[in-house]
Amino acid sequence: MEEIVKLMEEIVADRGVPRNVKSKVSEAKEALLNEEQELNVRVATAISILDEVSIDPNLPVYARTKIWNLVSKLEELRKS
């Protein structure tokens, strides 16, 4: 979980990533860290948000790859 949050923070801090994408990644991070919900719900919400943002045409290729990497890690977390 720490690694996932760190990757999200890296994307948000990246100057090459559009603001709308940064806000969605921040939203996914908040959803993931919301301990009022079960882990599976939090992970599913974060995956949904990141899937939506990964199709943004203004997203640089390297950032899209990072987001896909995040989604993969979240899916692994959901399975464990």
Ranges of the chain with pLDDT below 50: none
3-class secondary structure, 50: helix
pTM of the shown model: 0.93
Quote the pLDDT of residue 78. Answer: 85
Say how far apart CA 73 and CA 3 lie, in whole Å: 9
Q: What is the number of helices (H) and of strands (E) in the chain? A: 4, 0
Quote the pLDDT of residue 20. Answer: 95
For the segment 28-44, what is each residue's pLDDT rounded down to a tens digit? 999 999 999 999 999 99
Say how far apart CA 74 and CA 46 lie, in whole Å: 8
